[in-house]
Amino acid sequence: MDRGRHRISQQGRHSVGVARQYCGQIGKQDNCQVALSLSIANVAGSLLIADRLYLLEIWTDDPERRRKAKVPDSVAFQTKPAIALDQIPAAQAAGVASGVVLADAGCAFRTGLSALGLD
């Protein structure tokens, strides 16, 4: 699970998910987008298999902003750990082989991994 390389510094209010939050590219809080991704890797390389934009509640709880940005009604606020944990069963259901799970320390989802039987 990686959220470190998927922060895009942005200005303005209209790019989906832009909010004042920690931006790893610049090492401080700024207006940016954050995505959580799941990759698989072996000795030959790595492959991104899931990527999801993180939307703060200022996005999910604002109907007008959602409408203008075309955020589907089905998208609700989820914490970063919840997004990360949702990606794992989806990958397993798609036939991706289980392996070692590495995560950004900020994801703090070890308990969730145990609940999935991945401890």
Both tokens of residue 101?
A: 């799970």
Per-residue confidence (pLDDT) for residue 104, from 0 to 100: 67
Residue 1 belongs to a domain:
no
Per-residue confidence (pLDDT) for residue 4, from 0 to 100: 47
**The domain containing residue 17 runs over which residues?**
7-115
Per-residue confidence (pLDDT) for residue 85, from 0 to 100: 87
- CA distance to 44, 75, 95, per residue, from 56 (Å): 36, 11, 31
Q: What are phi and psi of 99, to 5 degrees?
A: -160, -165
Per-residue confidence (pLDDT) for residue 10, from 0 to 100: 60
| DSSP string for 58-108 | HHHT-HHHHHHHT--TT-----HHHHHHHHHHHHHHTTPPP------GGG-
- How many structural domains does the chain have? 1
pTM of the model: 0.77
Residue 61 belongs to a domain:
yes
User: Residue 53 and residue 61: Cα distance in Å, rounded?
Assistant: 16
SS3 call for 112? helix
Full pLDDT tens readout for the chain, 119 residues: 545 445 555 666 678 999 999 887 788 999 999 988 899 888 888 899 999 999 999 999 999 999 999 999 999 999 988 898 899 889 989 998 888 777 766 555 677 777 777 76
Residue 93 belongs to a domain:
yes
